[in-house]
Amino acid sequence: MTKLKIFYTEIHKVKKTYADEIDLSSATQWSALIEKVRSRIGEDDLVLDDLPIEPSENLDDWLFLYRFLYADEYSQTIDAVGEIENPLDCEREWSIQNLKGDVLLADPNFE
């Protein structure tokens, strides 16, 4: 008798949130942020020419710059691992594999 494994997989969205404190009056924070973005975008730094030299009080300017940062560059991580809002709202996949892990049949569209 051939032994196989059947797998049922649920794919849920996990929300991870990252945070950083900004001080709209901090010239040090503002210039460091601009320089970090400038080093990231390189030759495309012309988009930074429209930003003020002094710290901007325009929240759109701060948000624009923060969009260029990587998640690990934020000072805080607020992690929601394991929290699933609605366990019924997910993608589902089924597959059958042999004992070596080769997929013999997969049906990701069956709901």
DSSP conformation letters of the chain: ---EEEEEEEE----EEEE----TT-HHHHHHHHHHHHHHHGGGGGGGTTS-SSPP--HHHHHHHHTTS-GGGSSEEEE-TT--S-TTSSEEEEEEEETT--EEEEETT--
Each residue's pLDDT tens digit, 69-102: 998 898 888 766 555 666 677 778 888 888 888 9
- Residue with more model confidence, 42 or 86: 42
Is residue 111 very low, low, confident or very high in pLDDT (cuts 50, 70, 90)? very low
- Average model confidence (pLDDT) across the chain: 84
